[in-house]
Amino acid sequence: MRLVLLILLFSITSSIGLSQNTFSVSGKVMTTNNESIQNAIINTTTQVHFTNEKGEFKLDHKGLLLLKISHLGYEDVFDTLYVSENIVVNFIMTEISHDLHQVVIEEESQIHENVKTINTIEPQEIKLIPSASGVSDIFSALKTQPGVQSNTEGQKGLIVRGGNYDQITTYVDGIPVVGSSHLFGLLSMFQTDCIESVKLYNGYKPVKYGSALGPAIEINLMEAYSSSKKNTGSLKSSFISTQFQFQLKDENFYFQLGMRKSNLFLIQDLINQAANNNRSREITPIYDFSDVSFKATYLLEKQKVQFVYLNSIDGLDYNIDFVGEERKYLNTMSWGNEAASVKWNYYANGGPIVNAEVITNSYNALLYSNNRITFFDTDLNDQIWRNSISEFNNSIRNIKTTISLEKDLKNSSHFEVGLEYKHSKVNPNSFEYWEDSPLLDEEEFNGNTIVNTYSFYNEFSGSLGVNINYILGLRTSMFQYEEENEIHFNPRILVTSILNEKIKFDFYSGMSSQEIHLVTLNSFGFIPELWIAPSESNPVEKSWSTGCKLNYTGESTSFFIDTYVRGMSNLLEFSNNVDFNQSTSEIIENGITSNGQGAVVGLEISLKSGYNKFNYNVSYAYGRSSRLFDDLNQGQAFPFTFDIRNDVSMVLGYEINDRLSISSLYTHSSGRMLNVSNLVVPVGFTTPLGGAYSQWVTFNQPVNRNSYRLGNFNRLDLSISWTKKVKYGEYSFQLGAYNVTNRLNPYTAIIGNDEEGNQTIEEVGMIPILPNLTISFEWN
């Protein structure tokens, strides 16, 4: 795709340049060890050049120049230059560590931008990892990364390095998206066919990415051009979903449309059957999701204009009917994203690029429960059945404008500076009441809902000597809310030492701020979420992270070990005695404990290798994530909800022949923590008429918050693919299953009763085996 882009853009620019004088572009192509690469191919679409024995090259050009540098055994290097004077530029190529077809996710080090500890995932790699839907998905691939928890069934986003899912932000062509998942984190809201590349910044995070404490995921949607008008697309359908993707391009214009709708009703009986493994209750889970993505770009000489629109909706009805009794739990959850952006790029003379963009996005999450439970009516002096209604309905709306400038400097240095303004409006809503005694007036939230953020960031990357590269960045933000002005300085640094040809050592450290809080309740049942704007008592959250990473890259094997520590402050948690019968304002005022701290330590190991047509990718992550609040757990530390101690994933792939391949994904993870800190004790009483009886009383153990760990998570996914190329495209069949063993991995727990009527904790899973048969057709 990039090659097409190169060819077409170069055709445009070279045609402009023919009538004018040209300038020379010269330089050298080297390895990461500063050794010259002879006979590297410099592809400028109209011409092909080769480097000489000293690795040098020279060509003539004027205007926008798109370059692709290739050499056997090295990763391709792409670059864009605007040539208005004689330029000397050097390129450094990185050795390829794996066979092209193996099921691995490469660690990419783009030396020409300096070294970055990022994990880059290409679409062809995503496609080889089994997915819940049968259609390849970026979330499935990301969860095989160490540090990205695989145990996130039931969550709305990814959990990385001991934070909640609000701490990781997905940037889609620069648009920050919250809760970017379908099916409770099983699938992302982006079709893989629409994606050009994915980068996970879980070590060093570029300073242009703010507003979240944790890592960033950068998703770049497809963009390509053609000398003649051309359309490509795909249509894929499985038991899980049907998706359609269409691209239209010419020499200046690119258009992309992706649409997807779930098909889960096709296997509803199977889902019901799998979810009902206990005769005492009948569970009916009905899932539904859909998404749309749209992108259009237009090239005009030195300028590019881009428009992107995203929309995603998820819904779940999860009803539990207890057999033989009136007790019923009716739950409805839904969440959705809608975002749009307009972006403008200007490629100025001499190489600087000016970017300007306006983004608007919104997120809404609803949890509604109607539970029929017993209630002691003192007037009737008897137990009666009543419906308890609970509702959490939250929305976030953001408008963000950014203008930035970036430029490549001499000696492979790079400089970027930007200004950003963001306006956020957060509407938290929480209600709990009896259905037969509805709220007469749903009191409006009277706390702060608005925060304005003004940010300035600059980042500089370069080299210190021969074997050390660095990136230095500073993001300065002023958060304005109510009468408060908070100024945060968030420096970030990455230093890479190239120890020898195969071994590199990274040190990274950085700080981040997050202006919008997420408070979740990890008690029994579904997880309600409350999003809160900052206020005087709940100031902006801060975090820091420091780590070391040792990388080994051999001919067919790559390995890294990454160890890190993280600290967080100004965190929020629900208080022990939160009363959801209160209004939202009262809950936030009385039921939230603020000024909490977080501490995380972790170790991540990744091994990727292969032999002939067999490839494997094994990752392991150890983590410890704790929280500390003065007013919770008697001021002592307690485990965080996602204190996931051990997380293992293993991908195996085997290419039987050119058409047939098979792959599997196995994941094992520790369970997450539930806030079951109570002791149930029967307390004895006497009555004035001489009787005695005992009544259960639930005592909150003051130092036992988040004490219950759900069971381990184990899952095996399988996939076998058959592909045939034809002259007008490609069609394929994929047969597989998510959760082959049909093990209902615990998502949460409910209070149940054993055969003797004693209360017990019953762990409840959500996702049974999901078989898939996918039929795909792609045309080009």
Partner 1 sequence: MELKRYYTLLLPIVITSCNWFNPYDIPLADEKAQCVSYFLPVDSDTSVCFLSNSINIYESQQNESFDFCVKVSTQESVVISCNSMESDTAKVWIETGNLTDLIAGDTVFLEVESPEFGLLTSNTIVPESAVVIDYSLDSRSYFNGVKYFDEIDLKLSDPSNRDEAYMLQLISHIDTIGAPIPSIRNMKSDDQNMLRRNFGDKNLDNALFFSDSFWEGDGTYTFNFRTKSTADEGVPYHYTLIVHSISMDIYKFFYDLEGGDMSGYFNGGGFDIYSNIDGGYGCFGTLKSSNILLFPE
* Residue written as token pair 């080090």: 109
d(CA 176, CA 158): 14
Is the Cβ of residue 442 or residue 658 nearer to partner 1 in the bound state?
442
Is the Cβ of residue 86 or residue 759 nearer to partner 1 in the bound state?
759
E strand segments, 575-645: 592-611, 614-628, 638-639
Is the Cβ of residue 5 or residue 571 nearer to partner 1 in the bound state?
571
What is the closest distance, in whole angstroms, from the C-beta atom of residue 652 to partner 1 in the complex? 34
In this structure, are residues 233 and 247 in contact, taking their beta carbons and an 8 Å threshold?
Answer: yes
What is the closest distance, in whole angstroms, from the C-beta atom of residue 162 to partner 1 in the complex? 9
Cβ-based burial of 243 (10 A; exposed 0-12, middle 13-18, buried ≥19): buried
What is the closest distance, in whole angstroms, from the C-beta atom of residue 629 to partner 1 in the complex? 11
Is the Cβ of residue 579 or residue 658 nearer to partner 1 in the bound state?
579
* Residue written as token pair 């309600």: 528
What is the closest distance, in whole angstroms, from the C-beta atom of residue 167 to partner 1 in the complex? 15
Indicate the pairing of strand 63-70 with strand 77-83. antiparallel
**Tokens encoding 100:** 């092209």
Is the Cβ of residue 300 or residue 466 nearer to partner 1 in the bound state?
466
In this structure, are residues 222 and 196 in contact, taking their beta carbons and an 8 Å threshold?
Answer: yes
What is the closest distance, in whole angstroms, from the C-beta atom of residue 578 to partner 1 in the complex? 4
**Tokens encoding 89:** 């530029």
d(CA 335, CA 732): 32
Distance of alpha carbon 111 from the chain centroid: 25
Is the Cβ of residue 57 or residue 431 nearer to partner 1 in the bound state?
431
d(CA 532, CA 428): 6
What is the closest distance, in whole angstroms, from the C-beta atom of residue 419 to partner 1 in the complex? 24
**Tokens encoding 281:** 């209750």
Cβ-based burial of 692 (10 A; exposed 0-12, middle 13-18, buried ≥19): exposed
d(CA 276, CA 382): 32
What is the closest distance, in whole angstroms, from the C-beta atom of residue 529 to partner 1 in the complex? 11
Side chain identity at residue 160, one-letter code:
V
Is the Cβ of residue 621 or residue 676 nearer to partner 1 in the bound state?
676
In this structure, are residues 515 and 379 in contact, taking their beta carbons and an 8 Å threshold?
Answer: no
Is the Cβ of residue 66 or residue 600 nearer to partner 1 in the bound state?
600
Is the Cβ of residue 238 or residue 520 nearer to partner 1 in the bound state?
520
Q: Give just the sign of the alpha carbon dihedral 205, 224, 192, 355.
A: positive
435: phi then psi, degrees, rounded to nearest 5: -60, -35
What is the closest distance, in whole angstroms, from the C-beta atom of residue 550 to partner 1 in the complex? 13
What is the closest distance, in whole angstroms, from the C-beta atom of residue 148 to partner 1 in the complex? 20
Is the Cβ of residue 221 or residue 592 nearer to partner 1 in the bound state?
592
What is the closest distance, in whole angstroms, from the C-beta atom of residue 382 to partner 1 in the complex? 7
Q: What angle do CA 554, 563, 417 make, to 5 degrees?
A: 90
What is the closest distance, in whole angstroms, from the C-beta atom of residue 440 to partner 1 in the complex? 19
Q: What angle do CA 169, 174, 177 make, to 5 degrees?
A: 35
In this structure, are residues 766 and 742 in contact, taking their beta carbons and an 8 Å threshold?
Answer: no
Is the Cβ of residue 26 or residue 575 nearer to partner 1 in the bound state?
575
Those residues with Cβ within 8 angstroms of residue 699's Cβ, 6 or more apart along the chain or in another chain: 678, 679, 680, 681
Note the helical H segments in 195-340: 268-275
What is the closest distance, in whole angstroms, from the C-beta atom of residue 375 to partner 1 in the complex? 6
Is the Cβ of residue 452 or residue 575 nearer to partner 1 in the bound state?
575
Q: String of b and e for 744-777 (b: at least 16 CB within 10 Å)?
A: bbbbbbeebeeeeeeeeebbbbbbbbbbbebebe
What is the closest distance, in whole angstroms, from the C-beta atom of residue 370 to partner 1 in the complex? 9
Is the Cβ of residue 276 or residue 569 nearer to partner 1 in the bound state?
569
Is the Cβ of residue 262 or residue 670 nearer to partner 1 in the bound state?
670
Helix, strand or coil, per DSSP, at residue 657: coil
What is the closest distance, in whole angstroms, from the C-beta atom of residue 143 to partner 1 in the complex? 23
Rg of the chain (C-alpha set): 28
d(CA 3, CA 1): 5
Quote the DSSP letter at residue 443.
P
Query: Which region holds residue 266: left if phi is over 0, alpha if psi is between -120 and 50, else beta?
Result: alpha
Is the Cβ of residue 30 or residue 673 nearer to partner 1 in the bound state?
673
Helix, strand or coil, per DSSP, at residue 3: helix
d(CA 176, CA 78): 26
What is the closest distance, in whole angstroms, from the C-beta atom of residue 674 to partner 1 in the complex? 9
d(CA 354, CA 604): 37
